[in-house]
Structure 1
Amino acid sequence: MRSYRVAATRWHNSLPAIGMVFLFAMLAGCGKGAGDAAAKEQADPATTAVPVETAEASRRAIAASYTGTAPLEAQAEAQVVAKTSGVALQVLVEEGDVVRAGQPLVRLDPDRARLNLAQLQAQLSKLQSNFNRSDRLASQQLISAGDHEQLKYDLENVRAAYRLAQLELSYTNVVAPISGVVASRSIKTGNFVQINTPILRIIDNSRLEATLNVPERELATLRAGLPVRLQVDALPGREFVGTVDRVAPVVDAGSGTFRVICAFAGDSLQPGMFGRIRIDYDQRADALTIPRLALLDDEGEPSVYVVRDGKAVRTAIELGYVDGNLVEVRKGLEPGDAVVTAGKVALRDGGLVQVIGPRVAAAPIDASNDSSGERQ
């Protein structure tokens, strides 16, 4: 009986400890259930709002263009060569001097040419006198017709040699073949100049050209007279306007390209500058546009995420022209639609979104830094 009372007392004393263990087990179970629910909610994208940035589809003018790069070249350039040999007595120009066509540039020693001309002049005077005498005798039939004809031919021969000597003497004054700027000089006073030796280079920088090698698919869109915009690294922040001067009608079979020559006024431009060129071949004054960043990168038809009622809705669109950072939307969107520009990677169709930052309309950005030739 006593052992029974001891056992009952021990059981009665252990009741608080059992209750505490049971209570801890229930709390642990509830905590685990709540944690699993939170983790499940966090893992489910459908219940988690993804922060995104958006831009509104808006109407604005947009242009279709072709961009490329090319060095500038002078439309007219001439290598000045010596047409006769001699010592350079005077060099009348320096690099950078502006010259006109026909202006003297270098004076060569003319003594040899003058002596040769004087010698031929004496021969010409003698033959002219003999021919006049022969002509009088021939009229009186006192000289054979053959001798008279021979004197005539000799006179013409010496007369031609005399004119050639005059020309050689004129070559001792080297003159500018074109108007322009002296780009280089390879002669100094006192140098002996050989015939046909280049001594100066003149460029006409009043009109510069840039030649683009354009893929043949653009042959139907590019034509003479189209406006051209040019930017060069040497003159940052400035834009120069020119025109398409001419378009080659033949496509090169090896490269599949044709030549498009753009012309620009010299102004501050210099030959040799490397330019980024943009040719606008069509314009639309009221096109619906969105930022280029809004386009999804996956393959297939073009599409964007549109924010509707706090959710991202994947929407297929039809694209038109591409102008810098803007793209034209022909079908699929309406003005004011908010398209996702940042945060697209974490989105899925129908997922919740949280728009951060102010909603902005698409704004054009200068695409002149695009150095590859492409149609936009």
Structure 2
Amino acid sequence: MSRLLCAFACTLALTGAATANPLTLAPIPVTDWKAVHARIEAKDRLPARARIGGTLTDLLVAEGDSVARGQPLARVTDDKLGFQLAALHAQRDAIAAQLANARAELHRGEELLKQGVTTAQRLDALRTQVDVLAGQLTAVNAQAEVVVQTQAEGLVLAPADGRVLTVPVAAGAVVMAGETIATVSGGGIFLRLALPERHAASLSEGDPIRLDDGSEGRLIRLYPLIENGRVIADVEVPGLSDRFEEARVLVRLPVAERQALMVPAGVITTRGGLDFVAVETPAGPVLRAVVPGLRQTAADGGMVEILSGLTAGDVILPASPAAAKGASHD
């Protein structure tokens, strides 16, 4: 009697399930994702170099500081430039005095020429002397400006807006022209990853990329050079933190697409460690044992792949608590 009641309850449960929007099973395309590690990197990594050699007298930044383009980072001082500038100023003053005397001589020569006391040849020589001294004064002033500009180039400036990554020198160190004082990251942050070359043909720019924290990015560049069997790619992720560069992040890439039988997660009933799906058959609704596989997230639709137990064309019935307690199954 109890068996009859149990079978009757199961039949009623499956019959009720059959009246609640059945689903005809058909293969649908499913994307296979490959998990790889990517590194957080800056789009631009620019060295701030010393333009002159000398002593690093001031170091104004440290690792991790945010800087703006043109912001002073350090100062390099060369004491010889000060001595050169002092020598040029003294030379300029001497030439200026000679020029003033030559102009006075020229003025007197012009007056004497009017009186017929001197000759035009002597006057031309005085004019030439004035012109030579004026040219020398201009040259010395230009040399002094070069030295002043060289002193100004001792100020090391930030090449771009960004964050200071490294400062390989310390205040008081002697540096050469062209030596790196600091490295600045700029241009934004992206993910750089290296994946096996067998996946290169299945990837293209613009493909969606998923991160473990649920955020999504976009593949923006595939580099044509394969190194050590690896394809290098860049991924752009909106809002990616730049606090730590070279940090490793787990991402998932779409590497293939295949056909699979997918059912809503809600139609699967678990009982006794086995999974069942209610299926409509000519003999009536039955619970069929299945082997589930890939389970999508709620954002992807909450579907579950069925590896075995169902075939295309099966009519799937929604699961119910009563159906889960049924005793008969296929």
> What TM-score do the two structures reach when normalised by structure 2?
0.53
Alignment CA distance shift 1:230-1:310 (3 Å): closer
The answer for the alignment partner of 1:176 in structure 2 is 158
CA contact (8 A) 1:226 1:281 kept: no
- Secondary structure in 2 aligned to 1:115? helix
The answer for the alignment partner of 2:67 in structure 1 is 99
Return the offset for 1:104. 0.6
Amino acid in the other structure paired with 1:174: V
Amino acid in the other structure paired with 1:247: L
Alignment CA distance shift 1:93-1:62 (3 Å): same
CA contact (8 A) 2:63 2:167 kept: yes
CA contact (8 A) 1:214 1:260 kept: no
Return the offset for 1:195. 3.8
Give the counterpart of 1:115 among 74, 77, 83: 83
Q: Rg: which structure is higher?
A: 1
The answer for the alignment partner of 2:272 in structure 1 is none
Amino acid in the other structure paired with 2:84: N
Give the counterpart of 2:234 among 261, 283, 293: 261
Give yes or no for the alignment of 1:200 onto 2:182.
Answer: yes
Alignment CA distance shift 1:85-1:335 (3 Å): farther
Return the offset for 1:328. 7.9
Percent identity over paired residues: 23
The answer for the alignment partner of 1:239 in structure 2 is 214
Return the offset for 1:228. 1.8
Q: Deviations over 1:272-327 (max 9, x none)?
A: 1111122347889x963279xxxxxxxxxxxxx9999789899xxxx9x9979965
Give yes or no for the alignment of 1:333 onto 2:296.
Answer: no
Amino acid in the other structure paired with 2:234: I
Return the offset for 1:100. 0.7
The answer for the alignment partner of 1:276 in structure 2 is 250
Alpha-carbon distance between aligned partners in 2 of 1:265 and 1:159, rounded to the nearest angstrom:
54
The answer for the alignment partner of 1:80 in structure 2 is 48
Alpha-carbon distance between aligned partners in 2 of 1:122 and 1:106, rounded to the nearest angstrom:
31
The answer for the alignment partner of 2:112 in structure 1 is none
- Secondary structure in 1 aligned to 2:241? coil
Alpha-carbon distance between aligned partners in 1 of 2:44 and 2:260, rounded to the nearest angstrom:
42
Matches within 5 A, 1:155-166: 164-166=146-148
- When structure 1 is superposed on structure 2, of 93-102 and 66-75 the one drifting more is 66-75
Alpha-carbon distance between aligned partners in 2 of 1:265 and 1:313, rounded to the nearest angstrom:
40
Alpha-carbon distance between aligned partners in 2 of 1:251 and 1:326, rounded to the nearest angstrom:
38
CA contact (8 A) 2:27 2:312 kept: no
- Secondary structure in 1 aligned to 2:245? coil
Amino acid in the other structure paired with 1:333: A
The answer for the alignment partner of 1:224 in structure 2 is 205
CA contact (8 A) 2:49 2:178 kept: yes
- Secondary structure in 2 aligned to 1:239? coil
CA contact (8 A) 1:99 1:179 kept: yes
Alpha-carbon distance between aligned partners in 2 of 1:58 and 1:189, rounded to the nearest angstrom:
71
Alpha-carbon distance between aligned partners in 1 of 2:135 and 2:86, rounded to the nearest angstrom:
21
- Secondary structure in 1 aligned to 2:209? strand
CA contact (8 A) 2:208 2:218 kept: yes
Matches within 5 A, 1:27-38: none
CA contact (8 A) 2:59 2:73 kept: yes
Q: Deviations over 1:109-151 (max 9, x none)?
A: 3543243345456667959x98xx9xxxxxx9x68xxxxxx99
Alpha-carbon distance between aligned partners in 1 of 2:257 and 2:325, rounded to the nearest angstrom:
32
- When structure 1 is superposed on structure 2, of 208-217 and 176-185 the one drifting more is 208-217
Give the counterpart of 2:31 among 43, 60, 63: 63
Alignment CA distance shift 1:261-1:82 (3 Å): same
Alpha-carbon distance between aligned partners in 2 of 1:251 and 1:87, rounded to the nearest angstrom:
42
Return the offset for 1:152. 12
Q: In the comparison of the two structures, how many residue pairs are matched? A: 249
Amino acid in the other structure paired with 2:188: S
Amino acid in the other structure paired with 1:106: A
Alignment CA distance shift 1:282-1:160 (3 Å): farther
Alpha-carbon distance between aligned partners in 1 of 2:245 and 2:325, rounded to the nearest angstrom:
47
Amino acid in the other structure paired with 1:88: L
Alpha-carbon distance between aligned partners in 2 of 1:192 and 1:154, rounded to the nearest angstrom:
35
Alignment CA distance shift 1:188-1:214 (3 Å): same
Alignment CA distance shift 1:311-1:98 (3 Å): closer
CA contact (8 A) 2:50 2:76 kept: no
CA contact (8 A) 1:288 1:335 kept: no
- Structure 1 gap segments, 5+ residues each: 1-55, 134-139, 144-149, 232-237, 292-304, 339-355, 359-376
The answer for the alignment partner of 1:49 in structure 2 is none
The answer for the alignment partner of 1:213 in structure 2 is 195
RMSD after superposition: 5.4
The answer for the alignment partner of 1:89 in structure 2 is 57
Alignment CA distance shift 1:313-1:119 (3 Å): closer
CA contact (8 A) 1:58 1:290 kept: no
